[in-house]
Amino acid sequence: MSQKILVVEDEVDVRELVVLHLKRLGHAVTAVGSVEEARGAMAAARFDLAIVDWMLPGASGVDFIRETRRSRDRGELAILMLTAMSEPKDIVEGLDAGADDYLSKPFDAGVLVARVRALSRRISGTQDTAAPSMEVVKLGQLHLYPETYEVKCCGEPISLTPSEFKLLIALSKSQGRVLTRDSLISQIQGEGVSVVGRTVDTHVFGLRKKLGDCADVIETVRGVGYRVKPDLEA
């Protein structure tokens, strides 16, 4: 059965490898590079399984697991730690924090796939089988599907680059609030493209162009940055 999986990993190579294997298994995968982004993804969508690295920029994977376990409505999320921290005491700490399983790096792809299968079996066994509805972020006529990286304007699909999609998600998460260039940079960094200073303007320009009729969802706040309009007609 296909699961919705969140991958929290800051090393791009590892992240891409994990995503590749999960997608081959037919899972819907959302991949992020920090706990901050993971919180955003969790706020926007429901996941069955999270694969979490320990050492991340900012808050650690273990912090993320503890906070996830504290929030009652996330109880059913299965968590697999995937980390270079492989001392017995680390494994104990990871499991005690709330991870269901633990895999040390460097890892064998076959073992990763088997662990995910095992966790998936358990999830499928405990869940009702009704098709879960896909999460949608609605910004007026602009609809974002964070799980599948799809965007539609007035029902028409729009093809965005990963950086543009992350930019749009970052702005939509803070709808109404102005995001500075620096905060946008930190949120879209990690796609193999390093974004600096005015490059954000280029991305926003490209994004707006692609959004067509929905372009006015994003407002420029002169001298500060950008925001998604606070009140949008559905």
Residues lying near Ca ion in the complex (CB under 5 A) are found at 10, 53, 55
Q: How many helices (H) and strands (E) does the chain have?
A: 8, 12
Q: 199-211 vs 181-188: helix axis angle to the nearest 10?
A: 80
Q: Are 120 and 3 in contact (CB under 8 A)?
A: yes
Choose between 47 and 54: whose C-beta lies nearer to Ca ion.
54
Q: Other CB atoms closer than 10 Å to residue 216's CB: what's the count?
A: 12
What is the token pair recorded at 155?
Answer: 């029902």
Choose between 10 and 100: whose C-beta lies nearer to Ca ion.
10
CB of 53 vs Ca ion, minimal distance in Å: 4
CB of 18 vs Ca ion, minimal distance in Å: 12
Choose between 68 and 83: whose C-beta lies nearer to Ca ion.
83
Q: Are 10 and 56 in contact (CB under 8 A)?
A: yes
HSE-up (13 A, CA, CB side) for residue 56: 29
CB of 26 vs Ca ion, minimal distance in Å: 26
CB of 104 vs Ca ion, minimal distance in Å: 13
DSSP H or E run through 104: strand 101-104
Residue 27, SS3 per DSSP: coil
CB of 52 vs Ca ion, minimal distance in Å: 10
Choose between 80 and 142: whose C-beta lies nearer to Ca ion.
80
C-alpha gyration radius of the chain: 18
CB of 200 vs Ca ion, minimal distance in Å: 25
Choose between 28 and 112: whose C-beta lies nearer to Ca ion.
112
Choose between 30 and 83: whose C-beta lies nearer to Ca ion.
83
Q: How far apart are CA 177 and CA 50, in angstroms?
A: 29
Choose between 63 and 150: whose C-beta lies nearer to Ca ion.
63
Which amino acid, 2? S
The phi and psi torsions of 142 (rounded to 5 degrees) equal -95, 120
CB of 11 vs Ca ion, minimal distance in Å: 5
